[in-house]
Structure 1
Amino acid sequence: MGVPPMEETRALYDAIIMDTVPELPPPTTRAPLPALSAVVASVAALPFTGRSSELARLRAVAGSGQLAIIEGEPGIGKTRLAEEFIRTSGALVLAGAAHELEHALPYHPIIEALRSLLANPEWPLLRANLNLPAVWLGEIARLLPELAATLPTPLPAARAADEARLWEGTHQFLLSLARQRPLLFFLDDLHWTDESTLAMLGYLVRQRAPVPITYLATTRPPANPSALLTLLRTLTREERLLRLPLTRLTLDDTSILARALLGSHVKDTAKEKSLTEWLMQSSEGNPYILAELVRYTHDHALLGPQGELAPSVWAAPVLPQSVYSLIQGRLAGLSESARRVLDTAVAAGREFDFEVVARAAALSEGAALDALDELRRVALVHPIDGGLRYTFDHSLTMEVAYREVGEPRHRLLHRRVAEALESIHRANLDPIVGHLASHFAEGNTPERASPYAYRAGQLAAGLAAWAEAIAFYEQALLGAQAERRGPILARLGEALLAAGRFDRASEVLAEATQQAEALGDTPTVESTRLMLSRAFIPQARYAEAITVARQVIDSTTIPEHLARAELLWGTVLSLEGSDLDGATEHLNRVVDMCRDWWRCGAATRNWPVSS
């Protein structure tokens, strides 16, 4: 957040937060207005306003391993404060950000932060001194497959996904880096992140590191209830959290800005007071809106060379109480092609690939490039990643554009974005299946979202990100045809079982079994029955667990299924304690069937006997 839309605005916004005001260049699209630009250019410095204590508190906890989290509303300056702290930290920085349309993608902000390391010029030296066992490097490679190509020796074959091992692997990797350089791990916009990222972040912060690590994040005020709020409350109880809520600028802060805008040559306190009151009334102390108001007065010559405000600002409100109308006015000046690209980019997300947006907007390459140039010229978007991707100046711009375009057209644009993504990435869709599922779902085509959601669920399950896997499988069910519901239900039941949601798992697996029976799919019937029996055990539904296991024993011709069913039956009897001889008999049968090591491994692998 906190990225103002134009050069003049950015400099003044930085001055509010950063304690300096550079000389501002004139706008590139029109002749400069001498009144305000001359006034602004005369200002040499602006005292640090409203953020010095927060910056000092961040520096005080640097390297402690605690999580410092900067909280506040959109436009309040969270990211800008984090950037200043990072700039002066002297640490090795791993930075990632969560995004609204990617909130279901497991570990996405952490993956982005780790990926930033590979582009760091220091990575070759850091890599040479990692001194990290291959088992932990293998877990990092699970999140970041391209890491393997940068290592001097091949990694061992991947093991089955395990959440605890993945988290500890990430922790060990960060420790190894921090032994070489003080480390700063930064996640922006935590309110958009997935549950798996929050869970891993909590794990990392709880590990009391013997080396200097700083964990930093920004977020809007968390919803109640939410996984983010639960994490913050837990870390607060454990004294592992520093919360820095940012408030709006005060009347005194705004007065300092007004005085700087007027310049030292304007001595009229009445004009200073008038400008302060207008800025405060219109912005309500939001730094972003304050910066937008300065830009607005510049573009419309509302502030004279002697500090006098144009009478029109008092005769009628220049803006309503929110910034909506201000942004709406900026959008109204766009050409038709620029507005089409902007509306399509809103559907694509805060950060977007131009190629995807251009194709989805159905414009010629030249027209799309001209539209992009126009959006950059008015600073509604700006380039990132070397100009291959772009980002909006502020989420509020997206919100206004979304409301203006209307829901029916917005859904159409989501479908077009999904189709563009399909076309561009058709050779390798796995990295974007979560995006495709999201866009087709937002486009009100659940039947097209379903196969992508199913694949995204499989990939999430491969990372032991069970909450996200469950969400994707449930999304897949919404648009699945009748013949496809069975496999999805089976995967959903498996994920629910792994997540410890045994009651819901038993319901889903019972339905999956019925679907497989209706299709005459005996192997799937037996697999779902085995999982169903497992789901009954933690609920103390022992008789039902034995009944289902017996059904498998009576019908199966698959040795592994037979071994699993006997193992379940013996486990239930041992837990009940009423027939230990019977339990011994069933478990001995498993031992006899598992004389061949491969069969035993297949029958018992990843089967916690006491669940």
Structure 2
Amino acid sequence: MTEERPLPEQVLVGRQRELTALWSRFEQTTAGRLHVTLVAGEPGIGKTRLLHEVAGRAEQVGGLVLRGGASEAEGMPPYLPFLEALGGYIRTAPLEQLRPQVDPIAPILATILPELPRHLGELTSSYPLPPEQARLRLYEAVGLFLSTIAVSRPLLLLLDDLHWADTATLDLLCHVAQHQAVSRLCILGAYRSDELASRPALERSILNLTRNRQLITLTLQPLHEADVAELITRLLGVPPDYLLSQRLWKESEGNPFFLEELLRAWLETGGLTMTPSRASVSPSPAASLPASISSVMRQRFARLPPEVLETLRSAAILGRTFASTLLGEVIGQDEELVEERLLAAMQAGVLRSDLPDRYTFSHDTIREYLYSEVTPARRRRIHGFIGRVLEVRLEQGEAQQLAQLAFHFAHSGDRVRGVTYSQLAAAQAMRAAAPGEAMSHYHMALALLDQQDQRHGALSLALGEAALSAGVEREAVQAFEAAQIWWTHHPDVVAAARAACGQGRAWARLEEHAAAQAALEQALTLLHEHACAEQVQVLVELATLQAVSLGLHMEGMAYGQ
């Protein structure tokens, strides 16, 4: 007989060796030694499932598990995996427990964790520091917070999808690993191995952690033939016959996600014959196997009601995890109706719901496919809807969503709002000691500006400062040059001098001393009739260049005087 039945979630087979290794790392953490382990593998190979299995075991023995993940969607704030993990802890921790854990560092943490002032009340402002010092202070505060949380019980920090992590997240990860080496903290992450070559920041972080002997990387291989048979048995409740097992093993190439999608497609189309003791392939045309994962997806979603599929496509633009209330506002549908459609998607195994009103695509490959099915015109329209909904919520003070607003408006065709929120998101990223992410927002703002917009000069200048803070000196030179050209053609002598001074500082960091001196002297010439703070800064930079970099102490003293 043929039976249509849902497949169980979170089935893990064939990973005992890796599971044992990961559990050993967690147990070593309980003795007060930080460990970092990364699980690598192709999409669908079971990385996230393995992480969840370790997390479940850690919770069973009294460990605390904090979960976060990076996102492929643009417009995400810097440090997203840490924000999700620590934000979740702040929202659920008892106030009498949280306050002493963050008391001395709360103002610093609040620069990236808005949940803190909401939970603890108004905090005193921390005094401003230069960007490099502010970043160091933030990293130290996050590390101390994690270490303090781990005092009462071992802490497992899950960081999923690190192939999409921003540079700031990866830098913070390396800093925590290096400076909290004796804390009871186990960091367990995952990334797609086929993405590594195109992610230089992740590659550099892995190299640094490996060089410091702080990292173990486990690469998940495709399942063996016997593992595939066991997985089918666990999914169906009865063992497969040899033909079914062989066929699924060969066609899925041992990839658990692909295998489950193929098996689900057969169940839903009557391609399997089930008896109380055996599962086999039905001798019918319906049992023909799709040629690719895209074919599987296409057949799977064709069986969903059209209105459910349209709702899922809109949800895919919101991201891997989304709120049903936000989705309802975006598509203009009643909340109850949206919930019914999402329930149908859950029953089909497309979504899962871990928290009220929060839904997650069961695998990001599913979200990627749905997103690719949305036409460009409709994407622009939905991005605009999302932006306007988030804008209202921002005005109500409900969330700090500047990066998302910038992204959605930039991709909606609303250039005015796109520029405004990109500029605000860049400034917020600089305050959060994430200059690399600030650069991305400034680039977006400049790309959206009309040629004659008066903000060109100021944005180019800000881009130069962000690039200088990020250690990308040559891009800083280019940005400062663009700013100086703009201010030369739209006369503002002080602003042009500020841009020339920026070039000098960037050239000095590159140890291009002649170019640095020329740029700084040009800035001084522009300011010869202006007694202002910018003139003082240029003189200080020239004095430092002459005395420290060139060893010309008398000339340096002359500028200093």
TM-score by length of 1: 0.80
Tell me the residue number matched to 2:73: 101
Q: Relative to 1, partners in 2 of residues 1:396 and 1:553: Cα closer, same or farther, differing over 3 Å?
A: closer
Establish whether residue 223 from structure 1 lines up as the match of residue 223 from structure 2.
Answer: no
Aligned ranges for residues 520-531 of structure 1 at < 5 Å? 520-531=491-502
Query: Cα offset for 1:163?
Result: 1.0
Tell me the residue number matched to 2:362: 393
Query: Cα offset for 1:380?
Result: 2.2
Tell me the residue number matched to 2:20: 56
Tell me the residue number matched to 2:345: 375
Taking the aligned partners of 1:417 and 1:530, their CA distance within structure 2 comes to: 41
Residue among 353, 360, 363 paired with 2:330: 360
TM-score by length of 2: 0.87
Aligned ranges for residues 202-221 of structure 1 at < 5 Å? 202-207=174-179, 209-221=181-193
Aligned ranges for residues 465-484 of structure 1 at < 5 Å? 465-481=434-450, 482=452, 483-484=454-455
Query: Cα offset for 1:534?
Result: 2.1
Residue among 94, 111, 131 paired with 1:142: 111
1:487 alignment partner AA: A
Tell me the residue number matched to 2:52: 83
Tell me the residue number matched to 2:518: 544
Tell me the residue number matched to 1:195: 167
Show CA shifts across 1:428-449 (max 9, x none). 4972221122223344555542
Aligned ranges for residues 15-34 of structure 1 at < 5 Å? 17=12
The alignment's C-alpha RMSD in Å is 2.9
Tell me the residue number matched to 1:249: 223
Tell me if structure 2 keeps the 8 A contact 1:530–1:552: no
Q: Classify the secondary structure of the residue corresponding to 1:303.
A: strand
Taking the aligned partners of 2:535 and 2:260, their CA distance within structure 1 comes to: 70
Tell me the residue number matched to 1:3: none
1:319 alignment partner AA: L
Q: Which moved more, 1:199-208 or 1:398-407?
A: 398-407
Taking the aligned partners of 2:550 and 2:237, their CA distance within structure 1 comes to: 86
Q: Which moved more, 1:193-202 or 1:98-107?
A: 98-107
Compare CA radii of gyration and give the structure with the larger one: 1
Tell me the residue number matched to 2:8: 10
Q: Relative to 1, partners in 2 of residues 1:536 and 1:9: Cα closer, same or farther, differing over 3 Å?
A: same
Identity of aligned residues (%): 27
Q: Relative to 1, partners in 2 of residues 1:129 and 1:505: Cα closer, same or farther, differing over 3 Å?
A: closer
Residue among 436, 439, 459 paired with 1:488: 459
Query: Cα offset for 1:55?
Result: 1.0
Q: Classify the secondary structure of the residue corresponding to 1:352.
A: strand
Taking the aligned partners of 1:188 and 1:7, their CA distance within structure 2 comes to: 30
Query: Cα offset for 1:515?
Result: 1.8
Query: Cα offset for 1:125?
Result: 5.1
Q: Relative to 1, partners in 2 of residues 1:587 and 1:329: Cα closer, same or farther, differing over 3 Å?
A: same
Tell me the residue number matched to 2:147: 175
Residue among 531, 540, 554 paired with 1:567: 540
Taking the aligned partners of 1:204 and 1:495, their CA distance within structure 2 comes to: 23
Query: Cα offset for 1:158?
Result: 4.3
Show CA shifts across 1:62-107 (max 9, x none). 2131211112222222112111111112322221111111575211
Q: Relative to 1, partners in 2 of residues 1:279 and 1:176: Cα closer, same or farther, differing over 3 Å?
A: same
Tell me if structure 2 keeps the 8 A contact 1:382–1:393: yes
Unaligned 5+ runs, structure 2: none
Residue among 405, 410, 414 paired with 2:374: 405
Q: Classify the secondary structure of the residue corresponding to 1:555.
A: coil
Query: Cα offset for 1:329?
Result: 2.0
Q: Classify the secondary structure of the residue corresponding to 2:300.
A: helix
Q: Which moved more, 1:146-155 or 1:285-294?
A: 146-155
Tell me if structure 2 keeps the 8 A contact 1:68–1:244: yes
Taking the aligned partners of 2:119 and 2:389, their CA distance within structure 1 comes to: 31
Taking the aligned partners of 1:262 and 1:336, their CA distance within structure 2 comes to: 28
Q: Classify the secondary structure of the residue corresponding to 1:179.
A: helix
Aligned ranges for residues 404-443 of structure 1 at < 5 Å? 404-428=373-397, 431-443=400-412
Show CA shifts across 1:478-531 (max 9, x none). 011322211110100111122232332222112212322333334433433332
Unaligned 5+ runs, structure 1: 1-5, 18-48, 589-611
Tell me the residue number matched to 1:323: 293
Q: Relative to 1, partners in 2 of residues 1:103 and 1:246: Cα closer, same or farther, differing over 3 Å?
A: farther
Tell me the residue number matched to 1:580: 553
Query: Cα offset for 1:420?
Result: 3.2
Aligned ranges for residues 29-48 of structure 1 at < 5 Å? none
